Amino acid sequence: MERKNLPFRINCEGYFLNNKGNIIAKESNGIVLFPGGGVDENEEIIKAMIRETKEETGVIIKDIRKLGTIKIIWGPNWAKTEKQKSRYTAFQGDEMHFFIGNIERFEEPEIKKEDFWSGNKLMNVSDVIKKIEEKASFDEDIREYREAQLKFLKRIIKDEK
C-alpha cells in the first residue's frame, strides 16, 4: 500500500501553565517534551489530552481549549525506535492537536506507568522557547511540528503581557 493512502495517527500535545508563567515540560536528550500522546479509538481528543497529561505528569488541568491542528507526514528517516518503526507501517504521519490550559493541581498517581515524568515538571515558557529555537536547524521531518510549537508558545508569552 502506498504511504499516502495510510491514515494519520491522531495525537495531542498540551501547554499547561501555572500562575507564575511556568509550563509543564521536561527536557530529555536535549529535546523539550510536553504532555500528550495518541488518542485511543472512539476517544474524544480533549479527553485524551486530559488523560495523557494526568498519566504522564499527575497534573489535573482546567480551562482547556484548542490552539490548532496540523498534519505532519513522516519522512523515511522519521522512525528511530521500534515503537516508531511499527507506527510508520500503519500511519503516514501525525494529525497533531494542540491545547492550552491551566494547572489545577498535582496528584501523585498510585500506578506510575513507564512514561511517567519524575522530578521537576515545570519550566519557564521563555526558557522553553529558547531551548527549541537553539535547535532551529530542524530536520525536514520535524520542521513543521517545531514551527507550530514555537508559534503557540510565543502566543502564550504575548497573551500574558
pLDDT in tens, 31-54: 899 999 999 999 999 999 999 999
pLDDT at 118: 82
Give the predicted TM-score (pTM) of the model. Answer: 0.91
**CATH class for the region spanning 10-160:** alpha beta
Torsion, Cα 67 72 77 81, to 10 degrees, reads: 50
pLDDT confidence of residue 161: 62
Q: Can you read off the three cell numbers belonging to residue 34?
A: 510536553
Show me where the domains of the chain are located. 10-160
Alpha helices in the chain (DSSP H): 45-57, 82-90, 125-134, 143-160
Pick from 53, 54, 47: nearest CA to 13: 53
